[in-house]
Chains A and B, each alone.
Chain A
Amino acid sequence: MSRYIIRRLLQAIPTLIGVSLISFFLVKSAPGDPVLAMTYDPKISQATRETLRRQLGLDQPLPVQYVRWLTGLVMRPGDATAEFSDEDTGCSYVSLLNYTFCNSGGGVLRANLGTSITTKQPVWDRIAERIPATLELTTTGLIIGLLLGIPLGVLSAVRQGSLFDNLVRFFAVVGNAVPAFWLALLLIFLFGVYLNWLPAGGRRTVSLSDEFDLVDRLRHITLPAMVLAVGWVAVLSRFMRAETLEVLHTDYIRTAKAKGLLPIQVWFIHATRNALIPLATILGPAITGLLAGAVITETIFAWPGMGRLTFDAAIQRDYPVVLGTVMIASVLVILGNLFSDILYGLIDPRVRLL
């Protein structure tokens, strides 16, 4: 097992490097310029923009920018020591190559994701600020989805062909087809405006005091979590239904029934446990998706999550933030897949991890 894990982690390294190369060059090739976006004002002179561009290192060729992002090493032709050295950056001029090398102490390899172009905060801080809000929303959505979707799927399989089964399948298709933004706006106007039962958005009621009010938080999370849960219930109910159907026709279930066990015991103790095994393959990437956030739901409900951060950063061409979230997401995907493979190996004795 441990050899398997080590091998997978070693395989992850070239994957991550490949991801970083591809995403870096893709993001930078997109048209649009963050400096222009920030300084789009007729009164700002071109000289100011050039200075800003130079300080951000955006005037250099892409491979040089990539090296700077990855390792924190800045290379400039000529002697630029005076211009670029300050209290955290040490520069030295190599006359043989006529190049200045500056070490800014940063770079992804040293776990420094850089500084956001728009808000000047460290990228990691911007991302970390959003993690609690994101996890709150996506985890709640997933938990509701699991609590509703799994029993619905199992019961649907057990009562195969009945009205209940057909209704569940119908709503699963509808749930998959309905666009999230439409459902979100519908819920806001229904429960927020007309009935005024639940808040129309945000994470908490904004007020002068900072106190944590559980009931208020729960009221705010209800609608966005429901929107996310609809998607999960749709997927999970169909999945569990298919798995349970497969299991129900096996010999050991017939034995259980023949032994005279109660239906609940048969379904939920014996059948579901076996049907849950393939769920491990979904849960791994699902846990990864928890941190990716859900852009559309977050935007409509004004939920300060990671999905919105990445989207806004992409529009503003805030490269360090976009690349930061891409790298973190890739690490999580790799870990998530590894986790689900391990889980699978642990649960199902028939599977041997090599």
Chain B
Amino acid sequence: MKKFLYAISLMVLGGLAACSGPTPESITEVVKETVVVEKEVRETVIVEVEKEVVTEKEVVVTATTAPPQQGGVFIEASSTDASLLNPIIYSDAASFDVIQHIFPALINQDPFTGEVIPDLAESWETSEDGLVWTFHLRDDITWSDGDPVDAQDFKFSYEAIASDNVDSPRKYITDGIAGIETPDPQTIVVTFNEVRCDGLLNLGLGLLPSHLYGDDYSDIMESSYNEAPPVSAGPFLFKSWTRDDNVVLERNPEYWKGAPYLEGWIYKVVPDPGARLGQLQSGEVDLIEAQPEQLTTIELDSNLELFKYKDDGYSYIALNLANPENPQPGQDEEGNLVEQDPHPILGDVNVRKAIAHSLDYDAIISKVYLGQGYRLAANVLPAIEWAYNTDLQPYPYDLETAARLLEEAGWVDSDGDGVREKDGTPLSLNLATNAGNTVREDLGVLVQDQLNSIGFDITFEAIEFGTLIEELDNQTFDMIIIGWTGLGPDPNDDAFWHTQFDVPGSGFNAVSYHNPEIDQLLEEGVSVPDCSIEKRTPIYKKIQEIIHADVPYIFVSGTVGNTAYNGKWQGINPGPWAFYHNVEQFSLAQ
């Protein structure tokens, strides 16, 4: 009897499950409605924010009539912890997020234009040949223990980088410097080996407090100061660091721009993006970098503000111009060009142009990036206004032109299986990206689909990041979806295009792009004697023209950053290059 009842109840349950036929329809209807609503909200916000960005440049932040309130602790959430709080040996962005509040620097970047502006150095001049730079320093900046921040701190920090006792990833900076002289505590004379127009930016590293270290730089690497900086010349003093949990900084009343109103600033580690959003909404943290799919929730929350900006990075598809079975360096030991074995399919510029025409970029930006992106025609970002070539049009989505280019290149579908062939070789390519990055995974699927529709045979795989990087660097790939970030305010990106950087296993010219004209233009652009913008602009515009025509990368989208923060703070006035440039003015709104 019991068994019979069990059997009946199982069948009933099974029947109920089967009978849930009608319900899925109503569920999909509901889902469709919410999607429409989301889209509307997003569209209106994009328009609004574009206007916001323009006006913020012109508006001067005027003081409120009531004096700002003292107090409050600003908490930033990050996905990873800092590793080292030493401004000359750190290598990760999270460490920099903390370092920027503690260590002073010779020069800084304008938060809105990215140009070099004075910081410790009030003014500077260059010699005729552009090799000798003389900096005049302020005399009113001190470390929190009273010692002045002066030319000696700069000389010490940079000579430490060059020293054998210090393992810094920044030795490339000091390799280009012939000497540093300090005739008096407020003057620094830097002599470069050769004119490098992006060399000035390299002098903007955070400086170590030289009076706390020994003269031979031997106590820097293992110093406990790397985990607990004892003095600060920035807006905040170091208080404590609980690894993988939080870094706590408190107000520095001696800060030379004025003591902050904030009592403290905390860097909190929250690895999961969903949890970061949750903590922002509950008020446990004040600032996060938001993912595109979180924007709707943030915009609908009246307690939160959103700062949208064009970041200094872009996503692209790297096309291997050389044969992945035979990676070769671009130059031999004497610097002579080495002839590359071209990629059997991607070596033809018409095939690359065809790929560029086959992608529906508008659909990609709206569906994959949820509108958080913009089209790029070449390798320089619009954020670098003086060098950006406004005449170039990005490749339009044009399947007919793509098909015609492939036919003319000899790729025809002779056997009717949907895949084009040429001399018996099918148009098959491997596309890869890093697993776990849902945006890139979605992009890969779309690209595969769109290319397969005009006769390609694309195999797409999402692999682990470390493995992907190895494939890229060893040049054993066909196509890889990846991105660059932190490109900086100078348009020089010779590491991606110059033949000397085509080194399998380490060079960043992983696509094996060889163009002697580009090599020459890149070298010219960065060694203009007075680095004047008038002379450099035409060079970089030409470079963009050529890169646009040669298609070594498919430029998918410029990166749009979204910083979400709690509306209870006032004084916040972020620019695309810096959020905290006026952190001493942040205060609780009244």
Q: Is the CB of A119 within 8 A of B83?
A: yes
Q: Is the CB of A41 within 8 A of B469?
A: no
Q: Is the CB of B221 within 8 A of A43?
A: no
Is A57 in the interface zone, CB < 8 Å from B?
A: no
For residue A48, which residues in chain B have a CB less than 8 angstroms away from its CB?
169, 171-172
Produce 1/0 per residue, B278-291, CB < 8 A to A. 11011010000000
A139 to B470, CA, bound (A): 40
Is A185 in the interface zone, CB < 8 Å from B?
A: yes
A126 to B246, CA, bound (A): 15
For residue B275, which residues in chain A have a CB less than 8 angstroms away from its CB?
185, 188, 200-201, 300-302
Q: Is the CB of A44 within 8 A of B169?
A: yes
Q: Is the CB of A192 within 8 A of B282?
A: yes
Is A260 in the interface zone, CB < 8 Å from B?
A: no
Nearest CB in chain B: distance from A238 CB, A: 19
How many interface residues does B have (CB within 8 Å)? 57
Is B242 in the interface zone, CB < 8 Å from A?
A: yes
Nearest A residue (CB) for B245: A304
For residue B182, which residues in chain A have a CB less than 8 angstroms away from its CB?
none
- The stretch of A16-24, A32-40, A66-74, A343-351 that contacts the partner chain: A32-40
**Among residues 8 to 57 in chain A, which have CB atoms less than 8 Å away from a CB atom of chain B?**
30-33, 36-46, 48-49, 51-52, 55
Nearest CB in chain A: distance from B466 CB, A: 3
Q: B interface, by DSSP: helix, strand, loop or mixed? A: mixed
Q: Is the CB of A40 within 8 A of B469?
A: yes
For residue B80, which residues in chain A have a CB less than 8 angstroms away from its CB?
312
Produce 1/0 per residue, A102-137, CB < 8 A to B. 000000000000000011110000100110010000
Q: Is the CB of A202 within 8 A of B284?
A: yes
For residue A36, which residues in chain B have a CB less than 8 angstroms away from its CB?
469-470, 473, 506
Nearest CB in chain A: distance from B501 CB, A: 8
Q: Is the CB of A206 within 8 A of B278?
A: no
**Among residues 193 to 208 in chain A, which have CB atoms less than 8 Å away from a CB atom of chain B?**
193, 196, 199-203, 205-208
For residue A120, which residues in chain B have a CB less than 8 angstroms away from its CB?
84, 221-222, 226
For residue A241, which residues in chain B have a CB less than 8 angstroms away from its CB?
none
A-B contact pairs, 12 of them (CB 8 A): A36-B469, A36-B506, A38-B91, A38-B169, A48-B172, A55-B167, A199-B284, A201-B279, A205-B284, A208-B250, A302-B271, A309-B244
**Among residues 146 to 195 in chain B, which have CB atoms less than 8 Å away from a CB atom of chain A?**
167, 169-172, 175
Is B73 in the interface zone, CB < 8 Å from A?
A: yes
Q: Is the CB of B470 within 8 A of A32?
A: yes
| Other contacts beyond A32-B464, A41-B169, A193-B282: 12, CB < 8 A | A31-B470, A40-B469, A43-B172, A44-B169, A46-B506, A48-B169, A49-B506, A120-B221, A120-B226, A188-B274, A201-B279, A208-B263
A32 to B464, CA, bound (A): 9
For residue A52, which residues in chain B have a CB less than 8 angstroms away from its CB?
167, 169
With A207-B73, A304-B245 in contact, is A201–B278 under 8 Å at CB? yes
Is B43 in the interface zone, CB < 8 Å from A?
A: no
Q: Is the CB of B270 within 8 A of A201?
A: yes
Nearest B residue (CB) for A87: B218
For residue B92, which residues in chain A have a CB less than 8 angstroms away from its CB?
38
Is B523 in the interface zone, CB < 8 Å from A?
A: no
With A36-B469, A49-B506 in contact, is A206–B268 under 8 Å at CB? yes
A130 to B242, CA, bound (A): 10
Q: Is the CB of B466 within 8 A of A32?
A: yes
For residue B337, which residues in chain A have a CB less than 8 angstroms away from its CB?
none
Q: Is the CB of A302 within 8 A of B242?
A: no
With A208-B264, A299-B272, A302-B275 in contact, is A201–B284 under 8 Å at CB? yes
- B282's partner among A49, A199, A308 (CB-CB below 8 A) is A199
For residue A301, which residues in chain B have a CB less than 8 angstroms away from its CB?
275
Q: Is the CB of B239 within 8 A of A302?
A: no
For residue B264, which residues in chain A have a CB less than 8 angstroms away from its CB?
208
Is B442 in the interface zone, CB < 8 Å from A?
A: no
Q: Is the CB of B466 within 8 A of A43?
A: no
- A304's partner among B73, B83, B172, B242 (CB-CB below 8 A) is B242
**Among residues 218 to 265 in chain B, which have CB atoms less than 8 Å away from a CB atom of chain A?**
221-222, 226-227, 239-240, 242-246, 248, 250, 263-264
A52 to B166, CA, bound (A): 11
Nearest CB in chain B: distance from A305 CB, A: 9
For residue B460, which residues in chain A have a CB less than 8 angstroms away from its CB?
none
Nearest CB in chain A: distance from B545 CB, A: 22
Is B569 in the interface zone, CB < 8 Å from A?
A: no
For residue A252, which residues in chain B have a CB less than 8 angstroms away from its CB?
none
For residue B84, which residues in chain A have a CB less than 8 angstroms away from its CB?
119-120
For residue A207, which residues in chain B have a CB less than 8 angstroms away from its CB?
73, 248, 266
- A126's partner among B243, B271, B473, B506 (CB-CB below 8 A) is B243
- A308's partner among B175, B244, B486 (CB-CB below 8 A) is B244
Q: Is the CB of B495 within 8 A of A43?
A: yes
- A206's partner among B91, B175, B248, B508 (CB-CB below 8 A) is B248
For residue B268, which residues in chain A have a CB less than 8 angstroms away from its CB?
202, 206, 302
Is A251 in the interface zone, CB < 8 Å from B?
A: no
For residue A315, which residues in chain B have a CB less than 8 angstroms away from its CB?
465-466
Nearest CB in chain B: distance from A267 CB, A: 25
**Among residues 292 to 343 in chain A, which have CB atoms less than 8 Å away from a CB atom of chain B?**
299-302, 304, 308-309, 312, 315, 317
With A32-B464, A200-B278, A202-B284 in contact, is A129–B243 under 8 Å at CB? yes
Nearest CB in chain B: distance from A102 CB, A: 18
With A120-B84, A207-B73 in contact, is A304–B269 under 8 Å at CB? yes
With A208-B239, A208-B248, A308-B244 in contact, is A42–B169 under 8 Å at CB? no
With A200-B279, A208-B239 in contact, is A130–B466 under 8 Å at CB? no
A196 to B263, CA, bound (A): 25
Q: Is the CB of A299 within 8 A of B246?
A: no
Nearest CB in chain B: distance from A136 CB, A: 13
For residue A121, which residues in chain B have a CB less than 8 angstroms away from its CB?
227
**Among residues 510 to 568 in chain B, which have CB atoms less than 8 Å away from a CB atom of chain A?**
none
For residue A46, which residues in chain B have a CB less than 8 angstroms away from its CB?
503, 506-507
Nearest CB in chain B: distance from A107 CB, A: 19
A193 to B277, CA, bound (A): 9
Is B493 in the interface zone, CB < 8 Å from A?
A: yes
- B240's partner among A188, A210, A312 (CB-CB below 8 A) is A210
For residue B266, which residues in chain A have a CB less than 8 angstroms away from its CB?
206-208
For residue A32, which residues in chain B have a CB less than 8 angstroms away from its CB?
464-467, 469-470
Produce 1/0 per residue, B196-232, CB < 8 A to A. 0000000000000000000000000110001100000
Is B374 in the interface zone, CB < 8 Å from A?
A: no
A193 to B279, CA, bound (A): 8
Q: Is the CB of B470 within 8 A of A300?
A: no
Is A171 in the interface zone, CB < 8 Å from B?
A: no
Is B496 in the interface zone, CB < 8 Å from A?
A: yes
A33 to B239, CA, bound (A): 34
Nearest CB in chain A: distance from B164 CB, A: 10
A304 to B245, CA, bound (A): 6
Nearest CB in chain B: distance from A187 CB, A: 10
A206 to B241, CA, bound (A): 11
Nearest CB in chain A: distance from B277 CB, A: 8
With A200-B275, A202-B245, A208-B263 in contact, is A39–B169 under 8 Å at CB? yes
